[in-house]
Amino acid sequence: MKIALISAANIIHTVRWANGLSAAGHEVHVISQHSIVDPFDDEVQVHLFPNRGVVGYFSMALAVRKLLDRIKPDIVNAHYASGYGTTARLVGFHPYVLSVWGSDVYDVPHKSPLHKWLVKKNLRAADQLASTSHCMAEETRTLVPDLVDIAITPFGVDMRAYKGIEPVSANQKTKVVIGTVKTMLPKYGIDTLIEAYAQLLRLLQSNGAVLFEIELRLVGGGDQALELKALADRLGVGWACTPYSSATGTREV
């Protein structure tokens, strides 16, 4: 199958999507106005257009259409309902799948009536919609209620990262780690995760049958970090923070 992905080439999700499809035996073309940061596999063909920001999503449409006429893909998959979703709608290629990512349906439509109109128009233009989670699919339906068929396409796990790791014996006392890697902002619900963790600890302790240690590990930085620390202290679940790493741009707490 020949697949054209219209997406940001500088984001790791695009890279993994393209590489994964290529590894599955498909011919993959990535079309983007963003420069490459993480490497694509050699088999993936990347077509870069001059980066012109918001205007670029509109101005590149004609050139993308000509490129698609030459590539002749079996399907186009645009990622992000506002920016590249706009490009794909203007190109008018079919069949066309639009994948929503998060802020494109949670944040962008609420910036202004114009933004909301644009996102809704892009959503309606696709032959098929895809979301990485059920809750995001529901949020998408709040914008266009008649979008019943939204495919759920969760982010995968790179199993190569776990190759060679020995399974932990069932008889071995161990630690269960619950964690997330995310910017600490209200929209990500990290406060809910901390509250759920505190409830879990209380439930297990009340049953008196805790056979293992449980740890909540949050990796990231952001405006809500101090507020979340105060919440953890108030709930009595503790909070230890490692120093900020300039190499990774994150804190582990």
* Measured distance CA(16)–CA(68) in Å, rounded: 22
The residue ranges of every structural domain in the chain are: 2-152, 166-235
**215: which 2 tokens?**
């740890």
Q: CA torsion 68→108→217→244, rounded to 10°? A: 90
Architecture of the 2-152 domain: 3-Layer(aba) Sandwich (3.40)
Residue where the block lists tokens 């098929």:
128
Q: Residue 214 in contact with residue 176, Cβ under 8 Å? A: yes
pLDDT given for residue 246 in this prediction: 33
Q: What is the pLDDT along the chain (253 residues), one digit of tens a residue?
A: 999 999 999 998 999 999 999 999 999 999 999 999 999 999 999 999 997 889 999 999 999 999 999 999 999 999 999 999 999 999 999 999 999 998 899 999 999 999 999 999 999 999 999 999 998 999 999 999 988 889 999 877 777 777 887 776 666 566 788 888 888 888 788 999 999 999 988 888 787 655 567 888 888 888 898 899 899 889 988 765 544 333 333 344 4
pLDDT given for residue 43 in this prediction: 96
Task: Give 180's strand partners.
Answer: 218
Residue where the block lists tokens 């698609």:
68
pLDDT given for residue 248 in this prediction: 37
pLDDT given for residue 205 in this prediction: 79
Task: Please enumerate in sequence order all residues whose Cβ is within 8 A of that of 239, keeping only pairs 6 or more positions apart, or say none.
Answer: 229, 232, 233, 253
